[in-house]
Structure 1
Amino acid sequence: MALAKANRLKARSDFQAVFQAGIRHKSSHLTLRALRMKQSMPTQSAKIGISISTKVSKRAVVRNRIKRQIRAAFRSLLPQIAPQWRLVIIVQPQAVADKCDYQQFLQELEQLLTKAEAIDGHS
């Protein structure tokens, strides 16, 4: 099951805004770029993008599997994320070398989001 359309960061301009003005936090396998929007509509929700380059793996099958695991982790964390956030996750090549799984991605995402203050750290 994919992320809902309301929660996807799709436009190149949205990604560029997050990269230019957002904060950055790193873990061993992931990098989080986060941008808190000034005005938030009451019905607006957090938007999430995933960036994974061919440097991580030349094989699309591997990259897509990692993206699915990260999306699943985000789905479980989404109710805790404040609606004004725009988030981009960048996967590091070390994630493939260490054979990361869903649980590890979930743990690292939760730590990164807590550092960025996108969630309160209480689960």
Structure 2
Amino acid sequence: MVLPASMRLRGSRCFERLQKWGYRFYGTSMVLRVIEADPQLLKAPHRHHNSTACRCAVVISSKVSKRAVIRNRLRRRLHNHLRSRLEVAPEHCNHWVLISLKPVASAIEASPLLEECDRLLHQAGLLS
């Protein structure tokens, strides 16, 4: 499943801010970056959209896998997981989250990958 529009993070300025200033949490197969939301960086149609969930993005480089099918499968799994975990947590609606997968992520099964995602979200304070 794809993230709903209210949970998607868009725009190069948002990604640049997350890359430069986001708090980093490192795992064996991914890096989680979290920052306080700044709605002024969003494009005008999305700026005033009332959202009860934080905005998220998943970045998967071609270093993870050369095959787009595998990268898209990983992205869909993480989107579905983030949707189920963060959509029902309105207390964290003022955060932006960026998950970057490391090349070893393609060799890991789905269950340990999602457990690591949960662990990093918990470290970041987004899950209780």
| TM-score class normalised by the smaller sequence | 0.7 to 0.9
Is the CA contact (8 Å cut-off) linking 2:6 and 2:49 kept in structure 1?
A: no
1:97, 1:110 → 2: CA distance?
19
- After TM superposition, give the deviation of residue 42 of structure 1 in Å: 9.7
Where in structure 2 are there 5+ consecutive unaligned residues?
Answer: 40-47
Structure 1 equivalent of residue 102 of structure 2 = 92
What is the TM-score when the length of structure 2 is the normalising length?
0.82
Taking a change above 3 Å as real, the CA distance of residues 67 and 38 of structure 1, as seen in their structure-2 partners, is closer
Quick one: which amino acid aligns to residue 59 of structure 2? S
Q: Secondary structure at the match of 2:56?
A: strand
- Cα distance change, pair 12–6 in 1 and its aligned pair in 2 (3 A): same
Greater fraction of residues in helix: 2
Count residues with an aligned counterpart. 117
Listed as ranges, the gaps of 5+ residues in structure 1 are none
The structural deviation recorded for 1:95 is 1.1
In the aligned structure 1, how far is the partner of 2:49 from the partner of 2:72? 32
Query: Please, what is the CA RMSD of the aligned residues?
Result: 1.9
Q: Percent identity?
A: 29
TM-score norm. by structure 1 comes to: 0.85
Q: Does 1:62 find its partner at 2:70?
A: yes
Do the aligned partners of 1:55 and 1:93 also contact (CA within 8 Å) in 2? yes
